[in-house]
Structure 1
């Protein structure tokens, strides 16, 4: 695989252009995947440029579609295999976010389901997206789950960078990310891969996987 250096500003510009240039359909579903805070930051940075182009944007976080604590933490708070396999409520994310934005969907999306801090449902109303709107979803460990995205961006971190940059209270999850790299191989399967070992100096692979 070949990568080219790119500035953070140019990264946002190129991703905006790519999203805006996707084949016409009622809605566009974009996933920004990776460990740590960078997926949310990048998804946030794409909102205004897309709106400048006249595209309505809905920001959704996979962190608002986790299972209740009684299920998520049933085997303890620090089990990396459970984080990998069972934290995310994949069925709810498909049902409430992705399926309504399928070509024959209703366009009515639930922007958040479960407040993990309070461990209770948000009980938000559904949001009706107009034609041409873009969903920007951030999260971790999202590939390989059958989420029907139109574009998947993976922010790749080397094992050394994950060790260095994850907060101390999150290091227990490192084996989950290693398993993800090994089993899903997101660096090979995502549409766009950005190496983020140094966030101020990313490197981008934009060619689709073979």
Structure 2
């Protein structure tokens, strides 16, 4: 597949245009996910999209998937550094569906819980519910989001080569690397996503063009 170099600024504008061109944009709520390892900083890209979408008449709501991790008693059942548990058990898919994605279905309430549990303290955040405008966009970011049958109108995967992922992953988080190797082998996120951006050098992203 052709790969097109693109500036970080132009990437944000292109993604905002792509979201604004989705079927139903401006008429119903849309759910967009930016998927990537922490080293790819998916939250930074999701944050950067908020203002461009607002300028296109699409109010946005940011929800980090890290606010929907399962309790530590489940996440850490096999130890603090179990890569398979990180891959399989950490994200609370059910809570994310129930509190964030399902309410944004056509005819849904539009009331979203921005976070459920603080991943550091393992306590409920007690965040209040937030309403998303009928023509709004949810921007979800996090790791290992694809292949879970989450109802999303657009998915963007931030891809790193194994070498770049290892180089840019903090030493205390390198135990997660086998989980991302599994993700590549079992989910093939670059193929599963609607759009893939190569970010080996964050200053010089490249958009993977599908035929």
The answer, yes or no, to whether TM exceeds 0.5 is: yes
Moved more, 115-124 or 12-21: 115-124
Is the Cα–Cα contact under 8 Å of residues 29 and 134 in structure 2 kept in the other structure?
yes
Aligned length: 208
Q: SS state of the match for residue 38, structure 2? A: coil
Q: SS state of the match for residue 32, structure 1? A: strand
Supply the distance in 1 between the matched residues of 2:61 and 2:29 (Cα, whole angstroms): 11
Partner of residue 63, structure 1: 66
- Which of 26, 29, 32 in structure 1 is aligned with 2:28? 26
Q: SS state of the match for residue 48, structure 1? A: helix
Partner of residue 185, structure 2: 182
Kindly report which structure 2 residues correspond to 1:52-201, keeping only aligned pairs within 5 A, or say none.
52-201=55-204
1:117 deviation in Å?
1.1
Task: Please identify runs of 4+ aligned residues in structure 1 that moved more than 4 A.
Answer: none
In the alignment, structure 1 residue 10 sits paired with structure 2 residue 10: yes
1:206 deviation in Å?
4.2
User: Over residues 53-84 of structure 1, what are the superposed CA-to-partner deviations in whole Å (9 max), with x where a residue is unaligned?
Assistant: 22111000000000111111111000000000
Supply the distance in 2 between the matched residues of 1:143 and 1:159 (Cα, whole angstroms): 18
Q: What 5-or-longer segments of structure 2 have no aligned partner?
A: none
In the alignment, structure 1 residue 39 sits paired with structure 2 residue 42: yes
Moved more, 100-109 or 160-169: 100-109
User: Over residues 24-74 of structure 1, what are the superposed CA-to-partner deviations in whole Å (9 max), with x where a residue is unaligned?
Assistant: 142010000001252000000000111112211100000000011111111
Give TM-score, length-normalised by structure 1: 0.96
Q: SS state of the match for residue 80, structure 2? A: coil
Give TM-score, length-normalised by structure 2: 0.96
Q: What 5-or-longer segments of structure 1 have no aligned partner?
A: none
